[in-house]
Structure 1
Amino acid sequence: MPDRTCLEAELAAFMAEYERATNSHDLSRVVQFIAEDAVYWFSDGSHRGIEQIRSAIGKTFATILDEVYELRDLEWPVLTADVAVCRYLFAWTGVVDGELRSGRGRGTNVIVRRDDGLKMLHEHLDS
């Protein structure tokens, strides 16, 4: 089993790639990080499965134009080679209804290792 430092580095890189994909506003890039059976909890509701999650993220991309999403202060309260839990702070800025807006909050993700690599199994954002 890899040591904690190696696992943290691998998972931090995964989260950074997820952040970059989100900031691309390209749904096809974002969903590559998400497990088919994932569940996401956003302020607008719960989304079960990749199609519901794709729809919810697409709605966000359409609502918040030019969004920049930032993750910081990642913590790993659970960290194994196959499952990890990440807690973090997030912030976003973008244009909503023609006005510059921003927000911030806390996030929790469950990341699992599957045959096709690391995948988000759960995301919970709280603003």
Structure 2
Amino acid sequence: MFKPCLLALALFSGFTFATDALPSTPMMGDITKAQFMERAEQRFALQDKNGDGVLSVAEKEDSLAKIEGVMKQAGKPMPERMAQLKPRRDTTKAQFMARQEKIFERLDKNGDGVIGESERAEIKANLEKRAMEAAQ
């Protein structure tokens, strides 16, 4: 299963797991749980190339390779934690969506059902800090 930092990076730095179909800019303003989950559904559908409702190891590896290519093209280093990700098992849509719910709950620090500007700013600051630490 993908780590929360990978999803956060995808949502808040403009990258997506399937970079060719979702908008390349992050969502702006407050993000409701419904919006977050709709975006997760879109990411799942884009990764599930054969439409069988399961993300295979190969489909996950393909998505990671696309992210790496986009980051290289943008002149950004691949964070070490992402570079070390090696998918080991298939993931059903139900498993994927359950994980997305947990990620939303973790990002929604005040529990109001919305990832607001202050929460987004904290996420961005943490991602930038991790990126700087990875570059050292």
Structure number having the greater helix percentage: 2
Q: With a CA cutoff of 8 Å and minimum separation of 6, indicate the structure with the bigger relative contact order.
A: 2
Q: State the TM-score, normalized to the length of structure 1.
A: 0.31
Q: State the TM-score, normalized to the length of structure 2.
A: 0.30
Structure number having the greater strand percentage: 1
